Structure 1
């Protein structure tokens, strides 16, 4: 099982797409993993997953127009928040319809895994999946720096140096989204993961640059509302850029300059368009409606 490049990052969740070979059957399957790290369960998770599934099917249809069926997608939610997950596990549970109509309503049930009740040290399977799940557990850990060696032990199972560095970069970027993990903690984790690698210094510099560029460190240290607002604006701009590059393959310089002039309200609108547009032309055609 290998993660594909179809991935986008949001403020409250990450979506990762895996391609897998199906046992006893020819062809591939896709597994969408919604990584939930909100402070409370989202009751619309099933509907959110449905949108992602439909988006993948639409893209697959464009890529393989002669395909006679839909590729299978298994929705899986890994949850590691602190509140009890008490929301619908099936899309049909969200639909307020009389019993006579329920058999005709759309259904989509997702697999749910509460990592608070799982001993991640006992997990088996591919090293990529174990790394992925261990990162989720570390995000909520009280002592992520002390436990970063758990990631280091798994990295030793990877054979390609570039793969190791990619996992370190992605893993630390994910962990750094935790407001309880500061820049100093991230730098220390890099040192522990890459004690002898020259790339360690490069990673530390890159992470520090991202931290200051987003204004998050300033907002955390000073606790000023304007600092947090500016930090969120920059964070949304960066997320929009990543989504556009992943979905459409290019981020035009003119668009980058345009985003720099947008306030938070319009940036949120741009992000919504970037996530739903069919292609870059469709995205650009919808931007004028956000003008004041």
Structure 2
């Protein structure tokens, strides 16, 4: 058994179709009968971290305006939804590092997120840098404000990492929430989910 996991901060109305197309492409790549028979069951899982309520259809059946007799010919096409917003913090994960990542995705208050990153993700590790980069890119938070939060909490190492991340984004021209040639007013970027090729 295996799982197909997709994460997102926005509720995509076509999620059921996208996941069904992805599953079909997996089976197409393994086209020989022997290989198809050896494929494990695939469980589609959507991990949602957005602020709005998840309101999109949970399966192809829910997307179709058809009478019940027609729907009986539609194969199983639902997915498992894990809505991080609706879960209690203590239920997110027993793994400290995974819990810190989920809290970062949920965009909790910055001071709380910073404390969770500092306490749960190893100093000098890739996970800590990745979580901080997500905060810099996605949170609607001025760079100076984030640095002040880190400085007041005594997280000098994290403040230095944030400065390096911001400088790198400016150099690469990857920032979308502000003009690369002017002082940054807001570090905001929406991550678009990557489509399978």
Length-normalised TM-score, structure 2: 0.69
Contact 2:59 2:77 in 1 (8 A): yes
1:69-93: CA deviation from partner (whole Å, max 9, x where unpaired): 3233322223333333222111222
Task: Find the counterpart in structure 2 of residue 208 from structure 1.
Answer: 167
Displacement of 1:188: 5.7
8 Å contact from structure 2 (residues 103, 113) kept in 1: no
Name stretches of at least 5 consecutive residues in structure 2 with no aligned partner. none
Q: Which has the higher contact order (CA 8 A, sep 6+)?
A: 2
1:36/1:81 contact within 8 Å kept: yes
**Matching of residues 247-286 of structure 1 within 5 Å:** 275=195, 277=197
* 1:166 maps to 2:126: yes
Match of 1:37 in 2: 9
Distance change >3 Å, CA 144–CA 152, structure 1 → 2: same
**Partner residue in 1 for 2:60:** 91
- Given the superposition, is the C-alpha separation of residues 58 and 71 from structure 1 closer, same or farther in structure 2, using an over 3 Å criterion? farther
Q: Contact 1:182–1:217 (CA<8 Å) still a contact in 2?
A: no
Q: Deviations over 1:233-285 (max 9, x none)?
A: xx99xx8xxx6xxxxxxxxxxxxxxxxxxxxxxxxxxxxxxx454xxxxxxxx
Corresponding residue to 2:136 among 159, 167, 176: 176
Aligned CA distance change for structure 1 residues 45 and 66 (closer, same or farther; 3 Å): closer
Which secondary structure does the structure 1 equivalent of 2:45 belong to? strand
| 3-state SS, counterpart of residue 3 of structure 2 | strand
Deviations 1:46-74, CA, capped at 9 Å, x for gaps: 11222333445556x38xx8463323332
Does the 8 Å contact 1:57/1:71 carry over to 2? no
Report deviation, 1:111. Answer: 1.7
Structure 1 residue 108: Cα displacement? 1.8
* Match in the other structure for 1:147: 113
Q: Structure 1 length normalisation: TM-score?
A: 0.50
**What's 1:257 paired with?**
none
In structure 1, runs of 5+ residues without a counterpart are: 1-27, 224-230, 244-274, 278-292
Listed one character per residue, the Cα deviations across residues 180-204 of structure 1 (whole Å, up to 9, x for unaligned) are 123335556777696458xx74663
Alignment of 1:235-254 (within 5 A): none
* Whole-angstrom CA distance in 2 between matches of 1:186 and 1:74: 38
Establish whether residue 48 from structure 1 lines up as the match of residue 18 from structure 2. yes
What is the alpha-carbon distance in structure 1 between the residues aligned to residue 63 and residue 47 of structure 2? 20
8 Å contact kept, 1:190–1:203: no
Tell me, yes or no, if the aligned pair for 1:35 and 1:77 is still in contact at 8 Å: yes
How far off its partner does 1:153 sit?
Answer: 2.0
- Report deviation, 1:167: 0.8
Match of 2:76 among 103, 107, 127: 107
Is 1:125–2:85 an aligned residue pair? no
- Mapped to 2, the partners of 1:52 and 1:190 lie a distance apart of 41
How many residues align structurally?
189
* Secondary structure of 2:58's aligned partner: coil
